Amino acid sequence: MQVRAMDLWGTEKEVPSLAVVVAEVKLTDYETEKLKKALVGSFYGTDRGLKATSETRAEIVELITQLEAKNPTPASNDALTLLNGKWTLAYTSFAGLFPLLSSGLLPLLV
């Protein structure tokens, strides 16, 4: 987007408009943060997914889908270095982990 601006001497020139772009980024950041908070809030009471109801699971899947659509990394599978670090399991829908979660064999890292 281009806007017309006048400099100190009255010369008119076209310059790129950064204000519009900044406003869009802030709105997107706000929406993303709102989705992240809703996702983390939906984990409450699920015991890392073990006690999640079907409605809660559906809500979590929907929130994850919305967040994936806002992913700023175009090729997420090629950017595995972004995943380096210490992770804490907050929720899983992987049924293979449910026996470990229910037996308490998976250490509580929180």
What per-residue confidence (pLDDT) applies to 16? 56
Q: Where are the domains of the chain?
A: 2-103
pLDDT in the model for residue 110: 45
Confidence at 43, pLDDT banded by 50, 70, 90: very high
Q: What is the mean pLDDT of the chain?
A: 77
* pTM passes above 0.85: no
Q: Decide if pLDDT at 29 tops 90.
A: no
How distant, in Å, are the alpha carbons of 29, 51, 68, 70 from that of 74?
17, 34, 11, 10
Whole-number percent of the chain with pLDDT over 70: 69
How far is 71 from 49, CA to CA, in rounded Å? 24
Q: For residue 1, is pLDDT > 80?
A: no
